Structure 1
Amino acid sequence: MTAKTPKFWNWMAERYAKSPIADEASYQAKLAKTLEYVDQNTRVGELGCGTGSTAIFIAPHVREIVASDFAENMIAIARRKAEAAGLTNADFRVGSMEVLDGQFDAFLCHSILHLVHNPQDIIAEASSKLKPGGVLISSTACVADMGVGMKILLPFLRWPWLGLTPYARTKHEMRAMYRKAGLEIIHDWQPGKKAALFLIGRKN
C-alpha cells in the first residue's frame, strides 16, 4: 500500500473523516482567505479533496466546485456529506487531474503536492486549467525545511506498508514551481516554521 495507489487511503477513509484538524486556527484562516478570491460566479476545481471538507465549505459561496480524489472511499464519504448538507453544486469524482474537465476560476491543491513525484507537472496542469486571472491555492508541507529529524524519518515514512510517500520540497522550490507555471504569487503565508506553506498564485 503506497500513496501511488488508493488502497491505503481507502482503508484510512473513515478514520480520516473522524480525525480532528491538526491546526484548526490556521485551517480556518486559509478558508477565510480563499473566500476572498471566489464568488457566486466562480467555478472551482480541487485535486486530492479527501472526504470533501474544504469543498463542502466552499460550495455555498461559488457557482460550482468539482473535486477529485483517487480513493473511492474518500469520495463516497464526501458525497454523503454533500447530500447531508443539501448541496447541489458540489461534484465529487474518483480520479485525478483527468476527471477535472473544463476551465476553472480557482483551483485548490491542499495537502497533496508533497505526496507526489511530479508537483511541477501538477502545478503546470492546474495552471493550464485556469482562466486568465484565475488562482491556484495550495497548502503544502515543505518537508525539506523541517529539520534533520524529519529527514531521518523520511525513509521510514516511505515504507510501502505505511502508505505515505512525502518528498522533500522546500519553500523556495514551491515558489519557483508556481513562477515556472506562469503564476504570480499574490499570497504567501506559513503560520509556523514547520507548518504547511499556503500559496495563492494568479494566472496572468
Structure 2
Amino acid sequence: MSSASDARFWDRVSPKYAMGTIGDQAGYERTLNRTRALLGSGDSVLELGCGTGTTALQLAAHVQNYLATDISTGMIAIAMDKHAADPAPALVFRTATAEALTSDAGPFHAVLGFNYLHLVRDLPGTLHRIHALLAADGLFISKTPCVGDMNPLIRIALPAMRAVGKAPYAGVFRAAELSQHISAAGFDILATESHATKGNDHRPYIVARRK
C-alpha cells in the first residue's frame, strides 16, 4: 500500500463521496465560522485534502488567494466542476499533497487541514512540510479524526477494510499525541476546541501558530 493506492481509492469513491451529506451540519458551520474569524481579507491560504471543494467554496471569498489541493484527481475534477458553476476568483484547485508543493507555492498565511492528518502516512514529516509552507507567525488549522480515541472496534476493522479496498490508509493516534506531534514540528498551539453538536466525534479543532 502506498500514497498512489490511496489516490486510487479516493478517485474510485469520489462520485459517491460527492453525493454524501454532512453528518453534523451545525458542527460544520461552527468550524466554518471559527475559521473565517481567523482569516484575513489579505491572506493567502492553502487547504490540504480539500475533497470535492465544499469548504474551499465557503471560505475562498473571504481571503485574497486560496489554493485548495487533494491527492485525488477525481475529487479535484468534481471540485472544479462545482467551482465553474459558482466561480470564486480567489480560488484555485490543484491535485497535490503538502509534500508535492514546491516552495514557490507559498508562503501562506494559513494552512487548513480538515479531515486530513489521519490520512497522511508520515505525520511528523507532513507537519514539518506544513511548517515550511507557512509564513512567519502563520496559522495551521486542523480538524481531523483521532482514531486512537475512538471505539476499539474501529481500530480493529480498519486493517481488514484496507486489505479488501474498502478503506484508505488511516493513522491511529490520540488527540494528546496529535498535539505533541504538532508542537514538535515547530508550532505553538493556541486553541483546542470541540465543534461537535452531536456528542464527541473525537475530531479536535486545533489552531496552531508557526514559531
- Taking structure 1 as the reference length, the TM-score comes to 0.93
Name 1:18's counterpart in structure 2.
Answer: 19
- Indicate the residue corresponding to 1:59 in structure 2: 60
Please, which runs of 5 or more residues in structure 1 have no aligned partner?
none
- Output the amino acid matched with 1:193: N
The match for 1:114 among 118, 131, 145 is: 118
Give the aligned partner of residue 27 of structure 1: 28
Which residue of structure 2 lines up, in the alignment, with residue 157 of structure 1?
A: 161
- d(CA) in 2 for partners of 1:108, 1:36: 14
| Structure 2 SS opposite 1:178 | helix
Contact 1:48/1:68 (<8 A) preserved: yes
Q: State the Cα distance separating 1:13 from its structure 2 match.
A: 1.3
Q: 1:3: Cα distance to partner?
A: 6.0
Compared CA separation, residues 43 and 33, structure 1 to 2 (3 A): same
SS at match of 2:156: helix
Please give the per-residue CA displacement for 1:102-139, whole angstroms capped at 9, x wherever unaligned: 20000011112111221111111111111112100111
Maintained 8 Å contact 1:158/1:166: no
Q: Is the 8 A contact 2:10 2:72 kept in 1?
A: yes
User: Match for 1:102 among 86, 100, 106?
Assistant: 106
d(CA) in 1 for partners of 2:91, 2:51: 14
Task: Give the secondary-structure state (helix, strand or coil) at the position aligned to 2:172.
Answer: coil
Q: 1:153 to 1:3 in 2, by over 3 A?
A: farther
Q: Does 1:198 align with 2:205?
A: yes
Residue by residue over 1:7-51, the C-alpha shift from the partner in whole angstroms, topping out at 9 and shown as x without a partner, is 221121121111001211111111111011112100000111110
Residues 118 and 172 in structure 2, CA contact (< 8 A), matched pair in contact too: yes
Deviation at 1:157, TM superposition (A): 3.0
TM-score, normalised on structure 2? 0.90
Amino acid in structure 1 at the alignment position of 2:101: V
State the distance in 2 between where 1:195 and 1:189 align. 10
Q: Identity of counterpart residues, as a percentage?
A: 30
Amino acid at match of 2:208: G
Match of 1:69 in 2: 70
Gap runs ≥5 in structure 2: none
Deviates more, 1:136-145 or 1:6-15: 6-15
Q: Structure 1: which amino acid aligns with 2:193?
A: W
Over 4 Å off, 4+ runs: 1-4
